[in-house]
Structure 1
Amino acid sequence: MGNSFGDLPGTGQSDSSAGYPEGKALYEERMQLLPGLWMPPAPPWEELPEATQARWQRTAEDADKTAEDADK
């Protein structure tokens, strides 16, 4: 069983597919909004820790699931 963030125990990693493509897409989409909000630039995806990448992946997967549930 994972922790409250959905990580696999002791790893800090999600059970999502390696590379986190959905998480990266969501991160980069939201990263582009920061200048319009007068926020400093976010670091590039490649510089994020693995645990942060996994968290963005889970967020993207949860958003997809929520959208699918709303369509039902």
Structure 2
Amino acid sequence: MNSVRFDNFERLDKRDQETVMYFLRLLLNKAKYRTLREEIEQRRREIEKGDTLNHNEIWDQLDVYSCLCQ
């Protein structure tokens, strides 16, 4: 996915090569962080609704207390 074939890249002058590379980096970063941004937006919606866990619920899900009692 990260490799792109561009046969005529070497024919571009230095400034045009830098411009193309700049925009390619922007596109790759956008794709790379899309999943993370979607997760952050989902979490924000959950927080707005009040769908968050309190401290005890987190520890209960991790089942820490039962491990400590053994």
Q: TM-score, normalised by structure 2?
A: 0.40
Q: TM-score, normalised by structure 1?
A: 0.39
Bigger helix share: 2
Identify the structure with bigger relative contact order (alpha carbons < 8 Å, sequence gap 6+): 1
Greater C-alpha Rg: 2
